[in-house]
Structure 1
Amino acid sequence: MNQYGFDGIDLDWEFPGVQGIGDNLVQKRDSDNLLRLLQTIRKLAPSARISLAVPATGLQGPNGPLNDLTSWLPSFDYLTIMTYDIFGTWSSTTGLNSPLSSSCAPSDIPYSIESAVKHYKSLKVPANRILIGFPSYSYAYTVVYGLLPQKCPDGSTSYAYQPKSTTTTCGNWIGTPTPNQYIYRKLSDQGHLTPLGSLGFNFSVVDRASQTRVIL
């Protein structure tokens, strides 16, 4: 960091105590070791700006989810919540990549930007030290029965969560191929969205329950 003139570091461990990409080595004390690493960096570079990328689902400790990050606070400046990949091609239904709210989501995936911020605040992390990591890509799905309206607890209607087929598309990925993944910039280049995110030539709706744009 000092050699190349950087003034901080962002740590992105996906994920302590939980399998991530599929072939990670996972140990019960991963979160303890992550805290030790943060403390070591802070000791060696006390003036560095340190941020930590964390999952929207919370951090796992050796005996289950961590429920208090007070002891972590001196060792980082910001938490960046990874509020993306909430749903994807691996999910049992269609869903939203980065929903603002999860009020109408299936019970097995009740996560959103709103729930993630609320969770980390409950772990004693001050709101002014929480950052939101947004995706610049989306996922496409082929639904089985067409769009079926779903009534939400707040009375709104959602079309976001549908039975899906296993049909895949090549997407418009840049770099590593990811089926059904569409880069935001390419959606604009292809006319699905304007550069500022408004409607292109596709029918677009905002899913009221999650406050998320959906392109159909």
Structure 2
Amino acid sequence: MNCWIFIFALAALASAAHSEKKIVCYFGSWAVYRPSDGKFDISDIPSDLCTHFIYSFVGLTTDANVKVLDEWLDLPNNGGKNAFGRFNKLREQNPGIKTLIAIGGWNEGSTKYSQVVASQTLRTKLVKSMVEFTMKYGFDGLDIDWEYPNQRGGKPEDVQNFVKLLQELRPEFDKHKLLLTAAVAAAEPSASLSYDIPAISKYLDFINVMTYDLYGPWDKTTGLNAPLYSGHGSFELKLNVDACVRYWLKNGCPPEKLIVGVPSYGRTFTLANKNEYGLGTPARGPGTAGPYTREAGMLGYNEICVLIKEGGWTITRSEGHDVPYAFKNDQWISYDDVTSLNEKANYINSLNLGGAMIWSIETDDFRGKCGKQYPLLKTLNAKLRGKVIPIEPSKPTDSPKETNPPKPSTVQPTQPPATAPPNGICKKVGYVRDKEDCNVFYQCLDINGTYKIEKFNCPSGLGFDDKSNVCNYKKFVNGCI
């Protein structure tokens, strides 16, 4: 009898451990504008598969106010879609969940944050605005996604000014029982520039570590978006999930507050030579845009799984990295699937971390085009919360292991970029918008007295705002039709 009581007690403890794990789901609100089966609205959100939902994004003004970026979508005024209200009504379906609003993001940039938090007066005003905004629209908390302090137009003082902001926000949020979280750079080379980790950990309820985009089409060779480990020396030792997590833990982030980011998308490349397809081989640019996300260099998992299902792709699991990559002709994709998320969830459990965060919910296979709906989210739930039956990983015949991965090629690209930047576009170091297409912009770098030009595309529906050096909704960008 005592033996059975002991076993049941262990089972109860295991169940409790699962239930404490967070699954934090970001929702990219612009997904409502995607075409056909890529369109994702709040009605598509499964309220039982995440513990915390984060609506992305709202913006920041230079006079320290939180700003709605898409009034027609977010608010009910003048026939608007009331996305804020509908998002928070998810709690009626599942009263245990929490909803947060995210401020910032990559397109918002860093410059305005740096300016505002440097002033005590503006910082006080921002704290007031953040509290009032969060409460006015009925969210349970706020997620700060400043990308990144002391980078992208910031300054060294940002590191401590960010701490001051959080320190001043904490008591005000506590008064109203609001959650305060942040999304942060993951890898040491970036995180070491931006954060006083022990200090921000003190004031945040949990920290969403963005352990993805560790390699991508901005690099000149193929690489893995979010490898769990470094493998056998094929990558920089610091650019993998394990290295990022251990850096944050070593530098003072409590394990229970550390939420590991996992991508529901892949990073893609166009190979310089379709016969050179291993890790570290030359690429001549980003991969072809997908039908839903419509952004060169990335594909949602819902796009990737359909491509693979159609056939012709070689899927490889490079030894040690614990994530797949796939190639077909001159297209190369690094992504996460059910098998790799099983491994990452096991990793989270092994270090007793706070849980997983997914960027972002609308690029999982939410329509079930390749099998069951939400395979990635359901895998996380099974492993971290014991909530649903695990999705079966791909069979070995579907995802062949490569016992001898191709070595990095020494062959240099022979083909120029698909579209060359216009001559004379660079007049000074910095960013400049294309004169013909406001979706396109260039970075001008001074390399030994000669301009090096990098071309970029804003995500679909956005234009480059040359006043703030960020991609913004076209209606807010002067001269962008």
Structure 2 residue 299 is the aligned partner of structure 1 residue 182 = yes
CA contact (8 A) 1:8 1:49 kept: yes
In structure 1, what is the equivalent of residue 280 of structure 2?
161
Amino acid at match of 1:204: I
In structure 1, what is the equivalent of residue 149 of structure 2?
16
**Match among 91, 112, 125 for residue 240 of structure 2:** 112
Query: What secondary structure does 1:134 align onto?
Result: strand
Range with bigger deviation, 45-54 or 122-131: 45-54
Query: What secondary structure does 2:142 align onto?
Result: strand
CA contact (8 A) 1:86 1:112 kept: yes
Query: What secondary structure does 2:270 align onto?
Result: coil
Query: What secondary structure does 2:269 align onto?
Result: coil
In structure 2, what is the equivalent of residue 125 of structure 1?
253
**Match among 221, 225, 241 for residue 97 of structure 1:** 225
Amino acid at match of 2:235: P
CA contact (8 A) 1:31 1:60 kept: no
Q: Deviations over 1:147-176 (max 9, x none)?
A: 47xxxxxxxxxx32222224x44311646x
In structure 2, relative to structure 1, the CA distance for the partners of 1:141 and 1:191 (3 Å cut) is: closer
Query: What secondary structure does 2:284 align onto?
Result: coil
**Match among 49, 55, 70 for residue 185 of structure 2:** 55
In structure 1, what is the equivalent of residue 320 of structure 2?
209
CA contact (8 A) 2:292 2:303 kept: no
In structure 2, relative to structure 1, the CA distance for the partners of 1:78 and 1:28 (3 Å cut) is: same
In structure 1, what is the equivalent of residue 289 of structure 2?
171
In structure 2, what is the equivalent of residue 136 of structure 1?
264
CA contact (8 A) 2:265 2:301 kept: yes
CA contact (8 A) 2:149 2:194 kept: no
Whole-angstrom distance in 2 between the partners of 1:115 and 1:192: 30
Query: What secondary structure does 2:290 align onto?
Result: coil
Structure 1, gaps ≥5 residues long? 20-24, 149-158, 195-199
Post-superposition shift, 1:99?
1.0
Amino acid at match of 2:282: P
Amino acid at match of 1:170: T
CA contact (8 A) 1:57 1:116 kept: yes
| Residues matched between the structures, number | 189
- Taking structure 1 as the reference length, the TM-score comes to 0.76
In structure 2, relative to structure 1, the CA distance for the partners of 1:204 and 1:60 (3 Å cut) is: closer
Amino acid at match of 1:98: A
Post-superposition shift, 1:45?
0.9
Superposed counterparts of 1:34-73, under 5 Å: 34-46=162-174, 47-58=177-188, 69-73=197-201
CA contact (8 A) 1:192 1:202 kept: yes
Amino acid at match of 2:143: D
Amino acid at match of 1:186: E
- Taking structure 2 as the reference length, the TM-score comes to 0.36
CA contact (8 A) 1:56 1:112 kept: no
Whole-angstrom distance in 1 between the partners of 2:179 and 2:258: 14
**Match among 203, 211, 215 for residue 83 of structure 1:** 211
CA contact (8 A) 2:142 2:180 kept: yes
Post-superposition shift, 1:128?
1.3
Q: Identity rate of aligned residues, in percent?
A: 24
CA contact (8 A) 1:80 1:130 kept: yes
Post-superposition shift, 1:5?
1.9
The RMSD of aligned alpha carbons is 2.5
Whole-angstrom distance in 2 between the partners of 1:86 and 1:193: 26
Q: Compare CA radii of gyration and give the structure with the larger one.
A: 2
In structure 2, relative to structure 1, the CA distance for the partners of 1:212 and 1:147 (3 Å cut) is: farther
Query: What secondary structure does 2:259 align onto?
Result: strand
Query: What secondary structure does 1:138 align onto?
Result: strand
Query: What secondary structure does 1:73 align onto?
Result: helix
Structure number with higher relative contact order (C-alpha < 8 Å, ≥ 6 residues apart): 1
CA contact (8 A) 1:69 1:123 kept: yes
Post-superposition shift, 1:69?
2.6
Post-superposition shift, 1:133?
1.6
Post-superposition shift, 1:71?
2.7
